[in-house]
Copies of this chain bind each other. A is one copy, B any other.
Amino acid sequence: MKITIIYDTSSGHTRKMAQAVAEGAGTIEGIEVVVKHVDDASAEDLFSEGVIIGSPTYCGLMTWKLKALFDKSQGKAWGKVDGRIGAAFSSSGGLGGGNELAVFSILNALMNYGFIVFGLTEYAGKGVTAHYGAVAVGDP
């Protein structure tokens, strides 16, 4: 099973999250992980069995570059990836700054494409969870 992690980054925090997610996923046997900056990603990358999208929180949403990937890939991938697995993560400058909303904007786009999405009920640590996808405030 191939998982593709596509991320955008501004301060480098979301890149760090992408690397942490990749390391976590890479420890599972039988999982091949590919990490791509949004500048290097294309519609083909949305055909992986699992797609995880990470974005800095910009105006409470994913960045325009990630949105452009979804918009421009519609002709090739939309409606052709039904039932594949999608997830999201985001990094923001402040608590209450929109990171959950940014995660939800990604889940929204993934569901629109046909991906099935999910969160995690477990707590990653005291007071840190990923019910809708991992979030971080500042340096993760």
Contacts and interface: CB of A to CB of B under 8 A. Distances in A.
Contact of A70 (B58, B71, B138): B58
B108 A61 contact: yes
Nearest to A56: B71
Contacts of A54: none
A119 B79 CA distance: 11
A12 to B, nearest CB: 16
B121 A117 contact: no
Nearest to A95: B128
A34 to B, nearest CB: 22
A13 to B, nearest CB: 12
In the complex this chain forms, how many copies of it are found?
Answer: 4
B116 A59 contact: no
Contacts of A113: 59, 121
A103 to B, nearest CB: 8
Contact of A127 (B93, B111, B119, B127): B93
Given A99-B100, A129-B94, A59 B122 contact: no
Contact of A96 (B61, B78, B82, B135): B135
Contact of A64 (B60, B67, B98, B119): B67
A4 B18 CA distance: 37
